[in-house]
Amino acid sequence: MLIAERLDKIVAFLNDHNGATIKELADQLNVSKDTIRRDLMRLEKDHRIERTFGGAVIHDVKAPAFQYKKRHKMHMEEKNEIGKKAAELVRNGDSAFFGSSSTVDAIIPFLKDLRLDVITNSMTVAQGFANIGNDSIYILPGNIKRKHMRIVGSDTIDKINSFFTDYVFLGVIGCDAYGIYTSTVEEGNVNKAMIAHAQKVVVLADHSKFGLKGHYFISGLDKIDILITDREVDYEIEKALREADVEILICNK
């Protein structure tokens, strides 16, 4: 059994039984207690479970809202793989909204040979495209949130409503069987507007985002056209994605 598959089985078992001991999990999966301990440490690091004395539980997780400098350094290898996969969708002359996300930032180096019409509320996305020589960048107006390097507000949404693009690329703070989430109402409203004004909605989410909720619900899965991630999605979320007719693209496949 692959590690990722075993981790998903642990999460599913904890969900079904409102928690479990290390011994119960070891017996259920036919592995050693030490293996389960290592798995639980990894799952807790990814904010998917909470370890307890002698076991673990699922808590109603709210994904932590990290500042940009910290987000940028997290899961960098996975983000680069996702960025490379996302770039394969884009053709010369396409237009796209790029949301404010360190995962979205990872697309930029793989688009250096294309000319795109870029529309963004992200200061780092705008700078990234400028650095690779793209000269068609529209930075949306609004209020600057310095800690997250993004622009939000009613002016931002009003201007989004005047565009219609080929794609929107969004990072999320959480994704479950019900939909996708972000950390603030302001950013969520910007994301909603981008979704409504793009032909194809592409969500970028590394494995650590699945099973998490944010403080703000962006949309149901039915609004997503393509989801790109770095590993297999756990069964319940994959089933919901398939039922919503979302195309799932996994890196290196």
Cα–Cα distance, 119 to 51 (Å, whole number): 42
Task: Report pLDDT for 135.
Answer: 82
Task: Report pLDDT for 59.
Answer: 56
Where is the domain boundary, 23, 38, 57?
57
What residue numbers bound the domain in which 44 lies?
A: 3-57
Q: What is the pLDDT of residues 239-252, one digit of tens each?
A: 999 999 999 999 98
Output the domain CATH number for residue 135.
3.40.50.1360
pTM: 0.72
Same domain flag for 203 and 241? yes
Task: Report pLDDT for 68.
Answer: 47
Cα–Cα distance, 44 to 121 (Å, whole number): 32
26 within some domain? yes
Same domain flag for 72 and 16? no
170, 202 Cβ separation under 8 angstroms: yes
Q: Which residues of the chain have pLDDT under 50?
A: 65-66, 68-73
Same domain flag for 49 and 76? no
Output the domain CATH number for residue 26.
1.10.10.10
Same domain flag for 82 and 185? yes
Q: What is the pLDDT of residues 54-63, one digit of tens each?
A: 888 875 555 5
Give the count of domains, the chain: 2
62 within some domain? no
